Amino acid sequence: MSISNDKKHVVVGSLNRRQFLKGALTAGGAVTVPWIIPASVLGRGGAVAPSERIILGGIGLGGRGTSDLNWMIAEPDVQFVAICDVRKNRREAVKSIVDNKYGNNDCAMYRDIRQFLTERTDIDAVLIATGDRWHALASIMAMKAGKDVYCEKPSCFTMTQGQMVVETARRYGRVYQTGTQRLSEANHVFAIEMAKTGRLGKIHTIYADIRYRGGARFDWLPAEPEPPKDETDWDTWLGPCPWRPYNKVYVNHGWYNFYDFATDVAMWGAHTIAQALAGVDMSNVSPVEFEYDANNSNMVVRFADGVKMIMVRGGDCWKDCEYWHGSCGERFDGPEGWAAAADGYSKPDVSSPALYAEYKKVVGDYMARTQRPMNHVRNFFDCVKSRRLTVADPEVMRNSMCISLAADTCNQLKRNLKFDLVKAEFIGDPEANSLRSRAMREPWCI
């Protein structure tokens, strides 16, 4: 896959600063240029000129989305202008954060994503942090509307949706980043690069933390009176999912326990499978074999090139395990040693202190080679300007989500499966292939 590398000149409205001044000077007195122009307009005093700012909007920003928002608006060349959310309290909370940041009352609020994407032609990029059911659909709608996309994980609900995100980004020439932020954190980058650069020898085993359990319930909750549409637009909240009666538990974080709205392995694997795959050569991993474990413990996954991946299940994801301490860990084992990282580490774990001695060099060489910062949202914004691929581009998302969702299918069918990662289909198993997609409720179909 390739996305155009043509540079994009970010503008506010239809005129950049240079065009405005030129037009004003040649207008024959029709426009008078003020003697004093604010330094912020000219990009002086540390301010970024309007012509160089990235105009940002948000779709569905709750807890995780608010964290991303604060991270993004700290960037000096980013200006957040509008929030779209089906819940009024979320719209107002985001508006309060943004208006306090800029010292004005300008952040616009929208309930309907279609109106938002149609009207806000000034917006360059969107942050999407809805519930999982909406991630791929909102990304596709936004990219078709000419927006670049930063989307939280899991970034697709099904394999079919994941492939459609890849195709849409390619067709419309959009920049896309999935929110696997550990791909831009130094400790994880070090562990990944130790594997990728051969310092551990030929990798034979990789590990990924999938201990969080979600999407396991196939029932649904009893009906409660629906709130007013402006307070919570329940029909749009459901989006492409099957219609279910309103229950406040769903909208108050309880949705991720239900198969209708969530996944299982992919709920946590969306974080860590991408980290594990980043350390291996992806050119010869297909087909992929999944070994079902009747005890619902660690799942063994075997790639065509002989590399084995252990999806570490078991207990509480926040507790230590034998491969790392903390959560969201990955580990790489080779004949020359092993390297691992997880959340909360002051430094990565390695099998020998000698391996850690190259920490600064390994991370520095990676940054020099890729021109990527140790800042996931900054990488996204840099790519919005340069039109380069992000570190977590659509193919990275698609591959990691396909493997995570294939593991879900393996557990659901309770048998071993063989999967063609290139074609995103199971080999010789029509029943498994029928689970690569889910029906999407009108009008939220793609």
Extended strands (E) in 249-359: 288-291, 299-303, 308-312, 330-334, 337-341, 349-350
Could you tell me the pLDDT band of residue 30, with boundaries at 50, 70 and 90?
very low
What's the confidence (pLDDT) of residue 315?
58
Q: Can you give the pLDDT at residue 211?
A: 76
Per-residue pLDDT at 43: 55
Alpha carbons 323 and 329: distance in angstroms, whole number: 8
Domains and CATH numbers, the chain: 17-181 (3.40.50.720), 182-214+263-433 (3.30.360.10)
> Does the pLDDT at position 119 exceed 80?
yes
Query: Residue 350 pLDDT > 60, yes or no?
Result: yes
The reported pLDDT for the residue numbered 266 is: 81
Share of the chain above pLDDT 90, in %: 77
Whole-number pLDDT of residue 427:
98
pLDDT on residue 326: 80
pTM for this entry:
0.88
Kindly write down the DSSP assignment for every residue of 433-445, as one continuous string. HTTS-----TTS-
Q: What is the pLDDT of residue 27?
A: 42
Reported confidence tier of residue 13, pLDDT bands at 50, 70, 90 = very low
pLDDT-above-70 percentage for the chain: 88
- 139 or 1, greater pLDDT: 139
Q: How far is CA 290 from the centre of its chain?
A: 25
Mean pLDDT of 157-176: 97
Residue with the larger pLDDT of the pair 45 and 6: 45
DSSP symbol at 345? -
Cis peptide before 222 (omega within 30 of 0): no
> Over the stretch 244-261, which tens digit does the pLDDT of each residue have?
999 999 999 899 889 999
Per-residue pLDDT tens digits for 388-407: 999 999 999 999 999 999 99
- pLDDT in the model for residue 32: 42
**Triad 113, 403, 409: Cα angle to 5°:** 90
The confidence score (pLDDT) of residue 2 equals: 35
pLDDT over threshold 70, residue 424:
yes
